[in-house]
Amino acid sequence: MSGAGPSQAANSAPAGGSAAAKPQAWGASPAATLAGWLAFIETLHPKAIAMGLERVAAVAARMDLRLTCPIVTVGGTNGKGSTCAMIEAICRHAGFRTGLYASPHLMRYNERVRIAGEAAADEALAAAFETVETARLGEPHDAQATPLTYFEFGTLAALDLFARAPLDVLILEVGLGGRLDAVNIVDTDVAVVTTVDIDHVDYLGPTREHIGREKAGIFRAGRQAICGDPDPPHSLLEHADAIGAPLWRISRDYSYATEGSQWRYSGPGGARYGLPIPALRGTHQLANAATALAVLDALRDRLPVAASAVRDGLVGVELPGRFQVLAGRPVVVVDVAHNPHAARVLSDALGAMSFHPRTFAVFGMLTDKDIDGVAAALRARIDRWYIAPLPGPRGASAQRIEAVLRGIGIESGAIRAFGDIADAFRAARSDANETDRIAAFGSFLTVAAVLSAARERP
């Protein structure tokens, strides 16, 4: 591994938390299947999110992880998943063997770990979890096993798989924040912050300045830093300057411009003309694509990428759940937007679509998110709201969501409550005409439930 960071990490787990389990007997395997391992690692720490790099770095040191390829770490409030996907797609079309770590997943845990474009197999993940558990327990004489959160454990398992695979480039998506995220135990070659906006205020702070400093924690002295936010917080700029991280900023050091049905990129590595619009929908994706190309500029000496690979990667990139339009009628749009910034982007994207007489929302969020801000950002686009709770203790109840909607002036007749997201989607699909539109948003859990329900025959 390139190195361990000096600070603490915040690590996301599935909805809810559970009491810490008693340490396993040394050398014992607590699970044989991936499903068993996932159930087990939810029990290892009493908190779903816990601060501190010390735990994860200590276990990583025992594992003696060694990552020798160029590493790109991507953080940001929104856009980091899209940027990672575009970097991966372009590099793969250039003939490079890629590793990608992303979170959370939509349908299967395996989505979080991709090698050469393929999700890790159950057996490979289970074996990596076994390796992490052995290191977590330590030697037989250790008095106490190291407690790890769900995200910490999964991150170490992913790094173990990447260390064993012959990779040309590794792309790591930050889970929460940056300075305090488990992936920050790895010293990256290029660190990216896509955007900075208000989210996770309980862990990152209440203002963009607080959050910007946390996200800038992935920068490294003497290593290239890139910021895709056109108005970055002063805290981010000051931190980059203080540690001596050279910083490229969008609209200053690199830029993009639309040219009819194509677009142009200009950056430190030169200009690229006649680029196709990315397959990921939404005009905001051009900024993410430009940031991905800036990353490739930073690595051009180690990862040369031809123009054809850039074009093929942009056309072929896929990322489910990001303004994804499902086939069939009525039109169904799913988007994982779960903070006001992402909701405003989704609102603009919905407004740019062709005309639909009515738009029905399928809406569910976690209780620790800004439900008011998301609902307000999309209020003007929605005619009817089909709401439901999300599973787990973090899921906001339908009653709370309805109270929020009523509080921003939505009449009760435009709101219907259901027991779960799948039922809400089925009702919306039943009520909608072929020319109407359904927009499902608010959480990865919301989108996952709708994607599953959409497979059913109407």
Please check whether residue 372 is in contact with residue 449, taking contact to mean a CB–CB distance below 8 angstroms. Answer: no
N- to C-terminal Cα separation, the chain:
50
Given the structure tokens 């996301």, which residue do they identify? 12
Strand extents, DSSP E, 12-111: 71-75, 98-101
Q: Which of 378, 306, 304, 317 lies closest to 81, judged by CA?
A: 317
Domains of the chain are 34-316 (3.40.1190.10), 324-454 (3.90.190.20)
Which region, left, alpha or beta, applies to residue 148 given φ > 0 means left and ψ of -120 to 50 means alpha?
beta
Q: Which amino acid type is present at position 143?
A: A
User: Which pLDDT score, from 0 to 100, does residue 143 have?
Assistant: 54
Which residues contact residue 64 at a Cβ distance below 8 angstroms, ignoring those fewer than 6 apart? none
What pLDDT is recorded for position 17?
40
Q: Is the dihedral of CA 412, 414, 416, 420 positive or negative?
A: negative
Q: Is 381:350 a contact under the CB 8 Å cutoff?
A: yes
Which residues, listed in sequence order, are joined to residue 69 by a DSSP beta bridge? none
pLDDT tens for each residue of 211-238: 999 999 999 999 999 999 999 999 999 9
CA-based nearest residue to 103, from 83, 122, 81, 132: 81
- Packed helices 307-316 and 285-298: angle between N→C axes, nearest 10 degrees: 140
- 114-125 pLDDT, tens digit per residue, is 999 999 999 999
Distance CA 126, CA 122 (A): 6
Residue 227's SS3 state is strand
Closest CA to 401 of 179, 422, 412: 412
Size (the chain), residues = 458
Distance, in Å, from the CA atom of 250 to the CA atom of 284, rounded to the nearest integer, reads: 13
Mark out the alpha helices in 94-149 (DSSP H runs): 122-137
Encode pLDDT of 408-432 as tens digits: 999 999 999 999 999 999 999 999 9
Torsion of CA 214, 220, 222, 228, to 10 degrees: -50
Q: Which segments in the chain show pLDDT lower than 70?
A: 1-28, 46-51, 140-143, 458
pLDDT tens sequence across 7-63: 333 344 443 343 344 445 444 577 789 999 999 999 887 666 666 788 999 999 999
pTM above 0.85, yes or no: yes
pLDDT at 18: 38
